Amino acid sequence: MRKPELVNAVAQATGLGKAQATQVVNIFIDELTFALSQGDSVTLPGFGSFTVRQRAERTGRNPRTGDSMVIAASNNVGFKPGKTLRDAVNS
């Protein structure tokens, strides 16, 4: 499912117009992004949890040259599905 399909689903489920549903989806994405950028986690009971995970600096190889290189430490977003979501996907 892509964003336009999600907007249509929200519009149909709530009775909102497409413009309002687009706003709802955009606000959700913006708030999720802001919370994660502040280092907070976001938990949606039954659905799952979004967290910021720190990835340590490590040594890798350039695939073209084979030379060793240092890959800098970085933050990544992790998602752990909740039980309800896991059960729905596995049924």
Residue spans of beta strands (DSSP E) within the chain: 42-44, 48-55, 58-61, 68-71, 74-81
**Amino acid letter for position 53:** R
Q: Which residue has the tokens 């994405």?
A: 29
- Print pLDDT tens along the chain (91 aa): 999 999 999 999 999 999 999 999 999 999 999 999 999 999 999 999 999 999 999 999 999 999 999 999 999 999 999 999 999 999 9
State the pLDDT at residue 7: 97
> Residue 21, class by beta-carbon neighbours within 10 Å (0-12 exposed, 13-18 middle, 19+ buried)?
buried
The domain made up of 3-90 has a fold known as HU Protein; Chain A (4.10.520)
pTM of the model: 0.79
- C-alpha 25/C-alpha 16 separation (Å) is 12
Structure tokens at 50: 């979004």
